[in-house]
Amino acid sequence: MIIAIDGPAGSGKSTIADLLAERFGYSKLDTGAMYRTVAYVSSARGVDLDDEESVVDVARALDIAFDDAGDAPRVLADGADVTREIRTPATDRIVSKVSAYPGVRRALLACQRAFAVGRDVVAEGRDIGTVVFPDAGLKVFLTADPAVRARRRVLQRHPGAAADDPALAAEIESTLADLVRRDRLDASRAEAPLRAADDAVHIDSTSHTVDEIVDMIASLAEDRR
């Protein structure tokens, strides 16, 4: 079975997908991490991000892998651990540009579908239920208030910090602006825009805990297995 979870940045997709995969013993596919990896590697190599052909060349040649063997999942690019680097504000600002290139999306689409062959998978991203796995057994579109999403994203970067820590206020404000900009870009791109599949279940995570959302989706999945 494939559980497809789509939604904007900071809606909780990654955390919830992790917990669902653990609960059901499924493999987890984080497609957003793949686009982030292409963006980060392209930038680190000095590739002009406005040069679509050069960025597509990076995507086609790059070996992206997920390593779940340790205490925390790692993302590898040509064998190098880039888990931390792809989650920085700098990568946040460039990933929408890179992920909008049709050639990049086509290059990674083949990898994403190959990952799921012969596996039960929880896949999360922005076009999972509409493009990557249109026949998924369960499709969820996860949303949340933008201000809540920005706070969550900043707290992910600062484990243990209090949500009302005044030292984080400026970063939360900046992150909110980035999220709103990215939502607009992701929803308006010509290739595989961010949108809910017609048969997706809509869940707003603003006022729910992670455990509550996981239980909701798990119950839906149990009904369809």
Domains of the chain, each with CATH number or no CATH: 2-224 (3.40.50.300)
Residue 168: partners with Cβ closer than 8 Å, 6 or more residues away: 154, 155, 158, 161
Q: Report the C-alpha gap between 198 and 38 in whole angstroms.
A: 29
pTM: 0.86
Alpha carbon distances (Å) from 199 to 49, 60, 134, 195 = 35, 31, 10, 11
Check if the beta carbon of residue 2 is closer than 8 Å to that of residue 137: yes
Which pLDDT tens digits describe the chain residue by residue (225 residues)?
999 999 998 898 989 999 999 999 999 999 999 999 999 999 999 999 999 999 999 999 999 998 877 667 899 999 999 999 999 989 999 998 999 999 999 999 999 999 999 999 999 999 999 999 999 999 999 999 999 999 988 988 888 898 889 889 999 999 999 999 988 888 888 888 889 999 999 999 999 999 999 999 999 999 987
Q: Is the dihedral of CA 214, 219, 139, 27 positive or negative?
A: positive
